[in-house]
């Protein structure tokens, strides 16, 4: 067993492993996602998320998509099928949080067998989004 340590975030908020490529995607309080290669133990690059703060990461291995939920209530999809990830799509799931509105996107979970996305809000409400059927 080997041990590796990367100092890429002051505080890690979310991480997910891409089993096909052996990559680790991690997000902290910064407005980007680090991409680390387990095979070479190297930082491959950063995925910029604009002015949004990532809160949760999820991968759809079949579609090669990285889904990112943000503190601002966005769900962002990145195409990770190529060497350089590209933002594929995004949608705003909640109104913009403010001092009195704590309705922040906290967690996302994919159920690929039923083709749905579940997301949990800061106020602990659970919501479901039905995805379009896959082609093929």
**Spatial distance between the Cα atoms of 87 and 121, rounded to a whole number of angstroms:** 23
What domains appear along the chain, each with residue ranges and CATH number? 12-96 (2.40.128.630)
Name which of 58, 31, 29, 60 is nearest 46 in CA terms. 31
Taking only the tens place, the pLDDT of each residue in 44-76 is: 888 988 888 888 898 888 889 898 888 887 888
Q: pLDDT-based confidence at 25, cuts 50/70/90?
A: very high
Does the pTM exceed 0.95?
Answer: no
Number of helices followed by number of strands (H, E) in the chain: 0, 11
Dihedral sign (CA 37, 106, 63, 84): negative
């Amino acid at each position: 067993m080997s041990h590796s340590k990367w100092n890429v975030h002051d505080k890690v908020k979310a991480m997910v492993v891409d089993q096909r490529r052996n990559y680790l995607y991690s997000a902290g309080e910064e407005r980007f996602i680090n991409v680390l290669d387990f095979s070479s133990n190297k930082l491959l690059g950063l995925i910029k998320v604009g002015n949004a703060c990532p809160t949760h990461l999820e991968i759809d291995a079949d579609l090669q998509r990285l889904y990112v939920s943000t503190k601002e209530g966005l769900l962002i999809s990145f195409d990770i099928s190529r060497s350089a990830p590209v933002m594929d799509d995004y949608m705003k799931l909640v109104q913009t949080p403010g001092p009195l509105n704590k309705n922040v996107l906290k967690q996302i979970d994919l159920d690929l067998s039923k083709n749905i996305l579940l997301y949990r809000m800061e106020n602990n409400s659970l919501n479901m989004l039905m995805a379009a059927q896959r082609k093929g």
